[in-house]
Amino acid sequence: GAVVSQHPSWVICKSGTSVKIECRSLDFQATTMFWYRQFPKQSLMLMATSNEGSKATYEQGVEKDKFLINHASLTLSTLTVTSAHPEDSSFYICSALKGTSGIGTQYFGPGTRLLVL
Amino acid sequence: GEDVEQSLFLSVREGDSSVINCTYTDSSSTYLYWYKQEPGAGLQLLTYIFSNMDMKQDQRLTVLLNKKDKHLSLRIADTQTGDSAIYFCAESFGEGSWGKLQFGAGTQVVVTP
């Protein structure tokens, strides 16, 4: 199997606070994980590639100081939304890459819905 | 614009076959994928096809790949109400891209009784 979990599944926070989202690969090790953002009725937008033991690679237009990514182990990556604002409200989805670069397959977590008031 | 394009909506009667189409642009793509997303949930990998294959069948699912036209399709036989969801096709970037995917906008499939 290839199971990926996310925690929390939903979170409501006040503007200005920081929120941490965890992504875990439960039954396989993943040196690479990805973080996506999805707006209603839209596709997934890749935010960053998280690599275990090294700095994340951010896509163009994504603020690295706003969205902090830490891939501390082969089964855990975290995304911290710092000083969240209402425009950060979204559905955040992570995926973990099973296999090696170029021939691996991404398995997705169930997503975390963030609402910033 | 999108590098991967899909039609946005498909309505199909229960028991009929559904065909979802997708076009992509990167000829160096190694794999092409179909994912299913149910409301409020993450993406579920349905199937994938290696770029040197023309067809792959997996139970009710048939994937056809026309590499010349960069056209990918997913056929769902005997469509059920549980198949109602958004279906995303995705292409992998080239070698050395760390498994990055480019997604289409998704096709909303609605199955009617």
User: pLDDT averaged over consecutive 10-residue blocks of chain A (117 residues)?
Assistant: 90 97 94 90 88 90 95 94 96 88 76 95
| A108 with B2: Cβ contact below 8 A | no
How high is the pLDDT of residue B98?
56
| A108 with B45: Cβ contact below 8 A | yes
Task: Read off the pLDDT of residues B61-73 as tens digits, 9 standing for 90 and up.
Answer: 999 999 889 999 9
| A95 with B43: Cβ contact below 8 A | yes
Distance, in Å, from the CA atom of A77 to the CA atom of A6, rounded to the nearest integer, reads 10
Query: Which helix (DSSP H) or strand (DSSP E) does residue A115 occupy?
Result: strand A112-116
Distance, in Å, from the CA atom of A7 to the CA atom of A3, rounded to the nearest integer, reads 13
How many contacts (CB atoms, under 8 Å) link A and B? Answer: 67
B42 — pLDDT class (breaks 50, 70, 90): confident
Q: Report whether pLDDT(B56) > 90.
A: yes
**Dihedral sign from CA coordinates of A96, A98, A103, A105:** negative
How high is the pLDDT of residue B63?
97
* CA max distance for chain B: 46
How high is the pLDDT of residue B59?
94
Q: DSSP letter at A54?
A: S
Q: What is the dihedral of CA B3, B35, A3, A77, to 10 degrees?
A: 20
B1 touches chain A (CB under 8 A): no
Distance, in Å, from the CA atom of A86 to the CA atom of A82, rounded to the nearest integer, reads 12
A29 touches chain B (CB under 8 A): no
B95 — pLDDT class (breaks 50, 70, 90): low
Tell which of A25, A35, A37, A43 to mutate to test the B interface (max B CBs under 10 Å).
A43
